[in-house]
Amino acid sequence: MTVMEGLPWLRGYLDAVNEQLASLAPTPASTAIEGAVADALSLGGKRVRATLALLWCEAYSGDFRPALPLAAAYELAHASALVQDDIIDNSAMRRGSPSIVAKYGLPTAILASDLLLFNVPKLVAKYESLESRKLARLFDLVGEACRATTWGEFLDIELARGSGDAERDYEEMIRLKTSTLLSAPCASGALVGGASDEQCSLASAYGEAVGMAYQIQDDALDLVGDELVLGKPILTDLRGGKKSLVLMHCSQRCSEGDRAFITGLMNRTGQYSPSDVSRLRALIHDTGSLDYAHEKVLRYTQQAKKVLASVPASGARSLLTSLADYLSSRYT
Please report, for the domain that includes residue 215, its CATH number.
Answer: 1.10.600.10
What domain count does the chain have?
1
The whole-number pLDDT of residue 68 equals: 97
Residue 241 burial (CB < 10 Å; 0-12/13-18/19+)?
A: middle
The answer to whether residue 27 is domain-embedded is yes
Q: Which range marks the domain in which residue 304 is found?
A: 3-327
Q: Which residue has the higher pLDDT, 97 or 50?
A: 50
Cβ neighbours of residue 322 under 8 Å, at least 6 residues apart? 7, 9
User: Residue 229 — very low, low, confident or very high, per pLDDT cuts 50/70/90?
Assistant: low
Residue type for position 326: Y
The answer to whether residue 265 is domain-embedded is yes
Distance of alpha carbon 234 from alpha carbon 272, whole angstroms? 10
The answer to whether residue 332 is domain-embedded is no
Distance of alpha carbon 301 from alpha carbon 246, whole angstroms? 18
The answer to whether residue 239 is domain-embedded is yes
User: Residue 225 — very low, low, confident or very high, per pLDDT cuts 50/70/90?
Assistant: confident
The answer to whether residue 94 is domain-embedded is yes
The whole-number pLDDT of residue 90 equals: 87
Distance of alpha carbon 76 from alpha carbon 289, whole angstroms? 35
User: Residue 44 — very low, low, confident or very high, per pLDDT cuts 50/70/90?
Assistant: low
pLDDT digits (tens, 9 = 90+) for 137-179: 999 999 999 999 999 999 999 998 887 668 999 999 999 999 9
The answer to whether residue 197 is domain-embedded is yes
